[in-house]
A and B are shown apart, each in its own frame.
Chain A
Amino acid sequence: MSGDTLTRRVRKNSAFWLQCLLGLALLALVVLVFRTTQSNLELLGVQSGFDFLWKKAGFSISQHLIPYTEDSPIWTALAVAILNTLLLAVFCVLLASILGLAVGIGRLSSNWLVARLSLAYLELFRNIPVLLQIFFWYYVALRALPSFESSIFITDYLVLNNRGLYFPFIEFGNGFSISPPVMGRFAYEGGFYLMPEFLALWIGLSLYNGSYISEIVRSGFQSVARGQWEAGAALGLKPAAVLRRVAFPQALRAILPPLTTVYMNMFKATSLAAAIAYPEIVSVFVGTVNNLAGRPVEVMAVTLAFYAGVSFLVAWLMGRWNKRITLRGQ
């Protein structure tokens, strides 16, 4: 290389040695922490390994989407907790997206009242801590619901009381059948029900994150050039059709990247469930299992791996979707 002057070579060399030094220091730190942890665990008499996952769980979980009893192994409890986390996350994503889209479009409405109320929603829910909102729904609003004896019938098959929201559900027994909730002696049986903890988290997280989504949707639509709206109208499309067919696909390009961030934040915020004991991964695994099995390192590793895994999966999927809708050459 003819352009390689002496100073540049010296600089390259020093960079190389600097990195070697840094790498060694990093390695030394990792080894040191590892050794300290090992000796600390030995001092405490803590065993290590993942064999505890196959032991009997011995505790019950109030909501399980797959068959689970106290005799099931701990890995089944983990699966139940993960499914509960994902169920909550999916419900929240759906409701928050609907709210955010509606309010975001409402912000742009020519109706003054609609625009102002949308703004009021945004400013009210965005500036109050989400945990406080969840607590409000759980400890105040849902506590005010009537007891089982005087349940509210939203329709004949949709029953609401202070034990949760009951609705019909597909029953897998011999073939499919739809089972409606039936009033038993002490509670409603059959069908499926969402416990108050779930409802509080669902409403709280959706209202809070919906406010962020509404702001993203509004600025997304505002980033669509005025000429596009006018061109749509000039083609004789109705305003709703212009919104759906012309503006929305273009707005989506500006909406998707920040929307991914909100979805991730919402997914991470499902961990707040531990504060009101909805059985998701933090409250079941980091809470109960860690106390029973006494394997803090393994429990934390599994939990961190779960959150990191789902986050990277979501980022990857949203990135692919984003790539598909990006204009070529941009």
Chain B
Amino acid sequence: MGSELKTPSARQGLQCRVTTLGWLRQNLFSSWWNSAVSAVLLVLLAMLTARLFQWLIIDAQWAGSEPSACADTSSLCWPFIRARWRQFLYGLYPSEQVWRVNLGLAVGALLGVALAVRRMPARRWVAAFLLVAYPPLAWWLFRGGAGGLAPVETSLWGGFFLTLVVTGSVFWVSLLAGVLLALGRQSRLALVSQACTVWIEFWRAVPVLVLLFVVIIMLPLFLPANMEIDRLGRAMLAFAILMSTYLAEAVRGGLQSLSVGQFEAARALGLNWRQSRLYVVLPQALSVALPQITSNFIGLFKETTVLLVIGLFDLMGEVQRAASDPQWLGTGTTAAGYIFVAVFFWTACFSLSRASSRLERRMTRYRAAVYRP
């Protein structure tokens, strides 16, 4: 493994002894060829940085929050973000009801943080609440229509809020369905395992956008006339079908990594199928599959941007909609909007993948400590 060379201790040892000049010579100018490459790259990098600085900061328009602030349509228009901030966060959600969104998301965030604290008392109950009770409660809070809350149509939902709702709900449903599909694929019953295999392999070949169109157009035909699911519901169904097959494959990888001894030990203890899966097999399989599950979650999070193609307005969709407002027309406006969305997604995805790899390292250490012979 080449990574052995890059352990922190080796690098720190190197830095203690080597001066800046020596470091430069070793890492950038070690040979004639390396020096040439470094020099060319440094020049290109300097030019690129200067151009970006010029474009993003110096030439950009900063002051004001009215369309008139961006007289020049071709240079970046930051006032656009300031003026449409609310729309990017909540879409068309009625402003006197926005507290519901804030409350729901804040509770979710608090629960998430509580779960991340290792010494949290009753952590198990926090997890149970977050997984079982929170989603329906939050959904009720956002949608309303019962218990004294005014109904808010899902067609008004949008922006950052919609991105979170779709990602969260789809992931919640898909994880459960994915685990069931993975167990089904490993079933002793030939019909069950064959049906699950065909289902998974077929949907894995279909692009998300195509499935979105299929579900949007076809679902009303499949269902009796008195059953109707709104556009958001249909879109989430399409996402969930795909996501659950991806997660099923991730969980299957975890299941296959378990030794036969684990299954046999569970049976020797007298556990039945449900008990052995719940207490022995799944906890281990899910922890092995965790990196795969996280990367699928990140993939889903990025993929929600596709919603704008079918006329739902997630964060990216709201930016696109706001940028096509005749008052704000211009490449400078569009570019500013895109950079805003890109920074948001980049920060979120980068932190998530960093957190995931830290968790993975910790679990590897933990396993090594527990399973030491």
Which chain A residues have a beta carbon within 8 Å of chain B's beta carbons? 15, 18-19, 22-23, 26, 33, 36-37, 40-41, 43, 108, 110-114, 117, 123-124, 126-132, 135-136, 139-140, 143-144, 221-223, 226, 264, 268-272, 274-275, 282, 286, 290, 296-297, 300, 303-304, 307-308, 311-312
A-B contact pairs, 6 of them (CB 8 A): A22-B189, A131-B305, A140-B334, A286-B210, A300-B214, A304-B214
Question: Least Cβ distance of A173 to chain B in Å?
Answer: 38
**B220 in the interface, Cβ–Cβ < 8 Å?**
yes
B222: chain A residues at CB < 8 Å are: 33, 36-37, 40
A15: chain B residues at CB < 8 Å are: 188-189
Question: Least Cβ distance of A294 to chain B in Å?
Answer: 11
Check A275–B308 contact: CB distance below 8 A: yes
Choose from A19, A123, A296 the contact partner of B190 (Cβ within 8 Å).
A19
A46 to B111, CA, bound (A): 50
Check B346–A124 contact: CB distance below 8 A: yes
Question: Least Cβ distance of A92 to chain B in Å?
Answer: 14
B45: chain A residues at CB < 8 Å are: 117
Check B306–A304 contact: CB distance below 8 A: no
Check B217–A140 contact: CB distance below 8 A: no
Check A132–B341 contact: CB distance below 8 A: yes
Q: 7 tightest A-B contacts by CB?
A: A311-B205, A112-B27, A268-B207, A127-B349, A271-B207, A129-B302, A19-B191
Which chain B residues have a beta carbon within 8 Å of chain A's beta carbons? 1-3, 27-28, 30, 34, 37-38, 41-42, 45, 74, 188-192, 195, 202, 204-210, 213-214, 217-218, 220-225, 302-303, 305-306, 308-309, 316, 320, 331, 334-335, 338, 341-342, 345-346, 349-350, 353
Check B210–A282 contact: CB distance below 8 A: yes
A129: chain B residues at CB < 8 Å are: 302-303, 305, 316, 345
Check B195–A26 contact: CB distance below 8 A: yes
A299, closest chain B residue (CB): B217
A43: chain B residues at CB < 8 Å are: 225
A222, closest chain B residue (CB): B2
Known contacts A222-B1, A307-B206, A307-B210, A22 near B37 by CB under 8 Å: no
Check A40–B206 contact: CB distance below 8 A: no
B218: chain A residues at CB < 8 Å are: 296-297, 300
A297 to B219, CA, bound (A): 11
A108, closest chain B residue (CB): B2
A132 to B319, CA, bound (A): 11
Known contacts A23-B191, A132-B341, A274 near B331 by CB under 8 Å: no
Choose from A140, A268, A286 the contact partner of B338 (Cβ within 8 Å).
A140
Check B41–A127 contact: CB distance below 8 A: no
Check A127–B346 contact: CB distance below 8 A: yes
Check A127–B345 contact: CB distance below 8 A: yes
A144: chain B residues at CB < 8 Å are: 74, 331
A221: chain B residues at CB < 8 Å are: 2
A303 to B214, CA, bound (A): 10
Known contacts A19-B191, A127-B349, A300-B217, A282 near B209 by CB under 8 Å: yes
Question: Least Cβ distance of B77 to chain A in Å?
Answer: 12
A286 to B335, CA, bound (A): 30
Known contacts A19-B189, A272-B209, A297 near B41 by CB under 8 Å: no
